[in-house]
Structure 1
Amino acid sequence: MTTIYISDPIHPDILTDIQAGADVHLGYGPNKVDYLSVSETVDGVILRAENFTREVIEASPRLKIIARHGVGTNNVDIDAATERRVWVTTTPGANSNAVAEHVFALLLTEARKVCTAADRVRVGNWSESKADLIGFELSGRTIGIIGFGAIGKRVAAIAKGFGMRILASDPVATSADASASGADLVELDTLYDGADIITVHAPLLPGTRHMIGARELGMMKNTAVLINTSRGGLIDEDALVAALTEGQIAGAALDVLEAESIDMKDPLAHTRVPLSKVPNLILTPHIAGQTQEAFLEAGTKSWLEVKAVLAGNAPSFPVNSDGLQKLAV
Structure 2
Amino acid sequence: MPRAPLRRILVLDDFGDAAPGSADWSGLPVTFLDRKLDEEDLVARLTAEDADAVVLIRERSAFPASLVRRLPGLRLVVTTGMRNRVLDLDACDAAGIAVCGTPSLASPTVELTWGLILSLARGIPQQELLLRQGAWQQGTGLGLEGATLSIAGLGRIGTGVAAIGRAFGMRLLAWSPNMTAATAEAAGAELVDKETLFRQADILTLHLGLGPATRGIIGAAELALMRPGALLVNTARGPLVDQAALIAALRSGHLGGAAIDTHEPEPMTADDPIRQAPNTLLTPHLGYVTQQNFRLYFEGAVECLRAWNEGIPLPRPLNAAAKA
Say if 2:43 and 2:71, in contact at 8 Å, map to a contact too: no
Partner in structure 2 of residue 247 of structure 1: 253
Give the alignment of 1:279-290 within 5 angstroms. Answer: 279-290=278-289
Say if 2:100 and 2:322, in contact at 8 Å, map to a contact too: no
Q: Does 1:114 align with 2:119?
A: no
Aligned equivalent of 2:67, options 52, 56, 80: 56
What is the CA-CA distance between 1:239 and the residue it aligns to?
0.2
What is the CA-CA distance between 1:307 and the residue it aligns to?
4.1
Q: Does 1:235 align with 2:244?
A: no
Q: TM-score scaled by structure 1?
A: 0.83
Say if 2:68 and 2:91, in contact at 8 Å, map to a contact too: yes
Partner in structure 2 of residue 300 of structure 1: 299
What is the CA-CA distance between 1:290 and the residue it aligns to?
0.8
> What amino acid is aligned across from residue 268 of structure 1 in structure 2?
P
Partner in structure 2 of residue 193 of structure 1: 199
Say if 2:146 and 2:169, in contact at 8 Å, map to a contact too: yes
The whole-number CA distance in structure 1 between the counterparts of 2:131 and 2:186 is 43
What is the CA-CA distance between 1:83 and the residue it aligns to?
1.7
The whole-number CA distance in structure 1 between the counterparts of 2:297 and 2:185 is 29
The whole-number CA distance in structure 1 between the counterparts of 2:82 and 2:191 is 24
Say if 2:99 and 2:322, in contact at 8 Å, map to a contact too: no
Aligned equivalent of 1:73, options 72, 76, 84: 84
Partner in structure 1 of residue 38 of structure 2: none
Distance verdict in 2 for CA 1:301–1:120, change over 3 Å: same
Aligned equivalent of 1:5, options 2, 6, 10: 10
Distance verdict in 2 for CA 1:163–1:241, change over 3 Å: same
Q: Does 1:36 align with 2:44?
A: yes
Say if 2:144 and 2:169, in contact at 8 Å, map to a contact too: yes
What is the CA-CA distance between 1:170 and the residue it aligns to?
2.9
Query: Residue 195 of structure 1: SS of its match in structure 2?
Result: coil
Q: Identify the range of structure 1 (41-50 vs 157-166) with the bigger mean alpha-carbon deviation.
A: 41-50
Say if 2:108 and 2:288, in contact at 8 Å, map to a contact too: yes
> What amino acid is aligned across from residue 292 of structure 1 in structure 2?
Q
What is the CA-CA distance between 1:87 and the residue it aligns to?
3.4
Could you give the per-residue CA deviations for residues 103-150 of structure 1, whole angstroms, max 9, x where no partner exists? 11111111111111112223x3233xx34x310111111111112111
> What amino acid is aligned across from residue 61 of structure 2 in structure 1?
E
Could you give the per-residue CA deviations for residues 177-200 of structure 1, whole angstroms, max 9, x where no partner exists? 322221222222221122211111
The whole-number CA distance in structure 2 between the counterparts of 1:151 and 1:41 is 39
What is the CA-CA distance between 1:47 and the residue it aligns to?
0.4
| Residues paired across the two proteins, number | 307
What is the CA-CA distance between 1:161 and the residue it aligns to?
1.5
Partner in structure 2 of residue 176 of structure 1: 182
Query: Residue 113 of structure 2: SS of its match in structure 1?
Result: helix
Distance verdict in 2 for CA 1:142–1:305, change over 3 Å: farther
> What amino acid is aligned across from residue 291 of structure 1 in structure 2?
T
The whole-number CA distance in structure 2 between the counterparts of 1:36 and 1:52 is 15
Partner in structure 2 of residue 272 of structure 1: none
Query: Residue 215 of structure 1: SS of its match in structure 2?
Result: helix
Partner in structure 1 of residue 273 of structure 2: 268
Distance verdict in 2 for CA 1:207–1:90, change over 3 Å: farther
Say if 2:314 and 2:322, in contact at 8 Å, map to a contact too: no
Distance verdict in 2 for CA 1:169–1:85, change over 3 Å: farther
Q: TM-score scaled by structure 2?
A: 0.84
What is the CA-CA distance between 1:324 and the residue it aligns to?
8.1
Q: Does 1:85 align with 2:96?
A: yes
Aligned equivalent of 1:156, options 133, 137, 162: 162
> What amino acid is aligned across from residue 126 of structure 1 in structure 2?
A
RMSD (Å) for aligned C-alpha atoms: 2.6
Distance verdict in 2 for CA 1:47–1:226, change over 3 Å: same
> What amino acid is aligned across from residue 302 of structure 1 in structure 2?
A
The whole-number CA distance in structure 2 between the counterparts of 1:51 and 1:265 is 21
What is the CA-CA distance between 1:97 and the residue it aligns to?
0.7
Distance verdict in 2 for CA 1:190–1:90, change over 3 Å: farther
Distance verdict in 2 for CA 1:236–1:22, change over 3 Å: same
The whole-number CA distance in structure 2 between the counterparts of 1:11 and 1:281 is 30
Structure 1: gaps spanning 5 or more residues: 270-274
Say if 2:262 and 2:285, in contact at 8 Å, map to a contact too: yes
What is the CA-CA distance between 1:235 and the residue it aligns to?
0.4
Say if 1:257 and 1:267, in contact at 8 Å, map to a contact too: no
Q: Does 1:45 align with 2:50?
A: no
The whole-number CA distance in structure 2 between the counterparts of 1:105 and 1:307 is 37
